Structure 1
Amino acid sequence: MPEFFHDKKLYYTPIEFALNHIGGTWKMPILWRLHKNILRYGELKKDIPHITDKMLTTQLRDLEEKGLIERKVYAVVPPKVEYSITEKGLKAIPIIETIMKYGYELIQEAGIEFPPK
């Protein structure tokens, strides 16, 4: 497979490029929550309890920059900001579902009680 550059970064495979968009600990959980609902920052933070404010902000900005989510700011006091998934982001949902299903299968095969009691 030929390597390629994008935004001054070298990629060796299309898989690596795709994982740059949706990979990591937090991007898929954020996309998963936004595919069903438009959410505000506080709602996302509450629904993903272990993510720090800095990490949530960073991941939201990255997903927005890549065109996977949209940020809508309302001119009210106090400021209101909503996040929603884009058509491009919705294309990742079947992939996330497949990874989630595979993860559940691996958990089951390993004999792990999930969810833990």
Structure 2
Amino acid sequence: MPSTCTPITPRCPVRTALDLLGGKWRLLLLQQIALGQCRYGQFRRALPDISEKVLAQELRNLTEAGLVVRGAFGETAARGDYALTEGGRQALPVLEALLRFGLGYTTALQTAGSQ
């Protein structure tokens, strides 16, 4: 009987997306940057559970992947601000879909719990 599962190769687009966006913090960091340019200290306040080491590593990963850029953006911005690149903006529909899913899921749980 033939299998209905397709082998997941390194060239699989879903695997590529997970490599870029997967993990506990990357989408949360992208979400913060999507709200506006962020500095390191702002990330620390927005995500108090993340360690300094992990925050630095994840920002480096996002930068190396070309999803965010670090630098000065405009006259009032500091060198350490992070902003989305075009590639990072392409991840925004993923964030929106996760937001809708999370809201729907928690609403269903609350509705089920109140019955």
Counterpart-to-counterpart distance in 2, 1:46 and 1:3:
38
Please state whether the residue corresponding to 1:39 is helix, strand or coil. Answer: coil
TM-score, length-normalised on structure 2?
0.77
Greater helix percent: which structure? Answer: 2
Q: Are residue 69 (structure 1) and residue 68 (structure 2) matched?
A: yes
Percent sequence identity over matched residues? 30
Q: Matches of residues 37-52 of structure 1 in structure 2 within 5 Å?
A: 37-52=36-51
Runs of 4+ in 1 over 4 A off after TM superposition: 1-4
Higher Rg: 2
Partner residue in 2 for 1:17: 16
Counterpart-to-counterpart distance in 2, 1:99 and 1:80:
31
Please give the root-mean-square deviation of Cα atoms over the aligned residues, in Å.
2.3
Greater strand percent: which structure? Answer: 1
Q: Matches of residues 28-107 of structure 1 in structure 2 within 5 Å?
A: 28-72=27-71, 80-107=79-106
Letter in 1 for 2:42: E
TM-score, length-normalised on structure 1?
0.76
Partner residue in 2 for 1:115: none
